[in-house]
Amino acid sequence: MRQAAELCPDVFLMIIRMPRLAGLDRLLRLASARGAEALYLLSNARPAIRVDGAMSALEGEAPLGPQDVESLMLDVWPDRGSDPLSEGTEWICDIPDVGRVRCLAFTDQRGPGGIFRMIPGLETAEFARLGG
């Protein structure tokens, strides 16, 4: 692997950085596995989580540029015909292995951002058993 980095440093860096852009669902699963109540994406900052009221950056994640944040948000944006970042928009989505997530998209002085709150509740199978 060292030889690849020496021969093509730009390609090597791109390959290493690709996993952080694998999708918002990966970040949400990581946050959920750490017991997070929420995931925060802000332009020009590392993704952060809130666990038991305390905020901390996700270790091993690089800062996200405005384009990165917008791309991640569009992964779960339900209405493809509108702009989620225009005036602050909220929606709820279901993420496999995470559950329901309340999403808030906005734009501030840094650029696009999003807050993703985990909604505690019944698992889908339990809800179906109750007749829901």
pLDDT at 128: 53
pLDDT at 23: 85
pLDDT at 74: 81
Cβ count near 113 (within 10 Å): 23
Straight-line distance from the first to the last Cα atom of the chain, in angstroms, rounded to the nearest whole number: 52
pLDDT at 30: 93
Q: Is the pTM of this model over 0.85?
A: no
- Residues 68, 57: Cα–Cα separation, whole Å: 16
Averaged pLDDT in 10-residue chunks for the chain of 132 residues: 46 37 82 95 97 94 94 77 67 86 91 93 55 55
Show the beta-strand stretches assigned E in 12-110.
38-42, 48-51, 54-57, 89-95, 99-108
pLDDT at 113: 94
Whether the Cβ atoms of residue 42 and residue 116 lie closer than 8 Å to each other: no
pLDDT at 54: 96
Q: What sign does the dihedral 78-42-89-80 (CA atoms) show?
A: negative
DSSP letter assigned to residue 20: G
pLDDT at 25: 87
pLDDT at 46: 97
pLDDT at 2: 46
Cβ count near 124 (within 10 Å): 13
Q: How many residues does the chain have?
A: 132
pLDDT at 62: 94
